[in-house]
Amino acid sequence: MKKIPFLNNHNGFNMLEIIVVIIIVAVLASLSLPNLSNTVERTRSAEGVQILGALLSAQKVYEFEEGSYATTVADLDVEIPTPTDFNNVTDNNVCSAANRVAWVQRTGAYVLCINEDGDITCNPNGGGNICKKLNFTEETGTCTASNC
């Protein structure tokens, strides 16, 4: 009986082939992980942007009715659910200044602020270039948790 040659000459993968495949997978993983972490943080920052948008809209309505911006969340006709990635919204998160209407702080990380024009700025709080990675304008002067 005649044997088929390609069925008998290869019984499995040798060690070199396995190592080459592992190196290729490791290189591909190392290239994609930084992009994945930026994407995850961008998704988390979207919650802050949503909160700021709701606070800005409520502040605009309050200013139209009362002539000035509110200084407490209770004065606003807005209900903010408990954030998962940001600190809870309290009265300290609304401001009566036009250059800064509201702010939220990412738990242990950066602060996002919004002005009356809807422009969002970011203070990295020593977090390196996180604001640039998230495509926010970095501003450390007035965009702080204590400057309202």
> What would the mean pLDDT of 115-121 be, rounded to a whole number?
90
Instruction: Sort 59 into a burial class: Cβ within 10 Å, 0-12 / 13-18 / 19+.
Output: buried
User: In angstroms, how far apart are the furthest CA atoms of the chain?
Assistant: 99
Indicate the Cα dihedral angle 63, 82, 49, 79, nearest 10°. -30
- 118: Cα separation from own chain's centroid: 17
pLDDT band at 130 (very low <50, low <70, confident <90, very high): confident
Cα 52 to Cα 24, 27, 108, 140: the distances in Å are: 43, 39, 18, 18
Report the pLDDT value the prediction gives residue 61, as an integer from 0 to 100: 92
Q: pLDDT, tens digit, for every residue of 3-22? A: 555 555 566 778 888 899 99
pLDDT band at 55 (very low <50, low <70, confident <90, very high): very high
Tell which residue, 121, 40, 118, 117, has the closest CA to residue 84: 40
121 within 8 A of 141, measured Cβ to Cβ: no
Q: pLDDT, tens digit, for every residue of 26-36? A: 898 888 777 77
Report the pLDDT value the prediction gives residue 8, as an integer from 0 to 100: 57
Q: pLDDT, tens digit, for every residue of 44-54? A: 899 999 999 99
> What is the CATH number that goes with domain 13-138?
3.30.700
